[in-house]
Structure 1
Amino acid sequence: MRVYLPATLSMIEHLVAEPGRTFEPVGGTGFALTPALREAYSSGDDEELAEVALREAARASLRLLAVDSSDLPVRRVVVVVDADATPRPDLDDAVVKVVGSIPHADIVAVHVDGADAEEAVKAAVDAVDHADLGDEDSELTIGDVEDHDLGWYATQELPFLLELL
């Protein structure tokens, strides 16, 4: 199953630091095109619905950034993997549980915000919990960051991405 795992740049830095290292999804939580997600939408092909799962993972990345103490830029990161996953419709339509570490070979790509999104990401990190509780202004702040597209990087590009930060 194609799974979108929320991450931070510091997690990518750790992954790149040691060749052959595995990726550790926080709490084993990921997002994917699940049967429940497909049922929740009256239209949309698999590509469009996978984009919904990617956006959910990017939003979860904001929560990880709230507790990240690294000196790296504040950007949303989503690691895309092919892995076995169990749907968790009790949590949300796109949520899945991944057990264990993800081998580097199973990482398909990594999505990362560009530098132009940093201010919007910082504001969204501060607003994400309030948005989840229904605060309209905070939801608009989240919408501002979602206007920024995540860049796509192949795994072999990650060392260069980190070097250019």
Structure 2
Amino acid sequence: MRIFLPSTFPDLAAVLADGEVRGAPLTAYAVSGAPAAGADDEELEYEALRAAADASLRLVAGDPGAPRRRAVIAADMPEAAVEAEPGAAAGPGRVTVTGTVPLKRVASVHVDAPEAADDIAAALADPGAGHEDDHELLWYATQELPYLVEPRDAG
């Protein structure tokens, strides 16, 4: 099952250092249950990704030292490790991951471009204004994670 974990850049660095996402139980977003007939799986996963991006914005708000950029970790987990919220309707929604998420299960990372930082900061100052809506998250392969979180020498 593909899950989307809201994150921050400092949390991404910790995942890289630890080799896993820790802190079980973890809140994530996923498409759970049997979606309605005719529902497009890709569109439903995109909705789950967007929900995780909204949750990432709240995490960034709670960490004044974090770069003003959203981050979402996409991972493939066994369904037995993922629990839908009681009473949740089928489709994209919040789920609980009962254990850690090993780095080997991470499929990709989605983050705001550096140019989005001002709009993300504005979204934090004025929640609900939608400043972040103008920015799509960029896709990165797992092996690119070190380049996202570790500063590189310019010279």
**TM-score > 0.5, shorter chain as reference:** yes
Query: How far off is 1:97 after superposition?
Result: 0.8
Is 1:79 aligned to 2:94, yes or no? no
Match for residue 134 of structure 2?
147
Partners of 2:103 and 2:23 in 1: how far apart?
12
Query: How far off is 1:17 after superposition?
Result: 2.8
Partners of 1:10 and 1:69 in 2: how far apart?
11
2:21 partner SS: coil
| Root-mean-square deviation over aligned CA pairs | 2.3
8 Å contact kept, 2:25–2:99: no
Query: How far off is 1:126 after superposition?
Result: 3.2
More helix as a share of residues: 1
For 1:67-88, what per-residue CA distance to the aligned partner results, in whole angstroms no more than 9, with x for missing partners?
1132x42100000011131111
Query: How far off is 1:147 after superposition?
Result: 2.0
Q: Which runs of 5+ in 1 are unaligned?
A: 129-137
Match for residue 30 of structure 2?
32
Distance 1:115 1:26, change over 3 A: farther
Q: Which of residues 46, 51, 55 is equivalent to 2:46?
A: 51
Partners of 2:135 and 2:68 in 1: how far apart?
14
More strand as a share of residues: 2
What is the count of residue pairs matched by the alignment? 147
Distance 1:110 1:57, change over 3 A: same
Match for residue 14 of structure 2?
14
Distance 1:117 1:5, change over 3 A: same
Distance 1:53 1:109, change over 3 A: same
Match for residue 64 of structure 1?
59
Query: How far off is 1:46 after superposition?
Result: 0.4
Q: Which runs of 5+ in 2 are unaligned?
A: none
1:149 partner SS: coil
Percent identity of paired positions between Structure 1 and Structure 2: 38
Partners of 1:96 and 1:68 in 2: how far apart?
23
Match for residue 143 of structure 2?
156
8 Å contact kept, 2:68–2:117: yes
8 Å contact kept, 2:16–2:103: no
Partners of 2:144 and 2:70 in 1: how far apart?
17
Could you list the structure 1 runs, at least 4 aligned residues long, displaced by more than 4 angstroms after superposition.
89-93
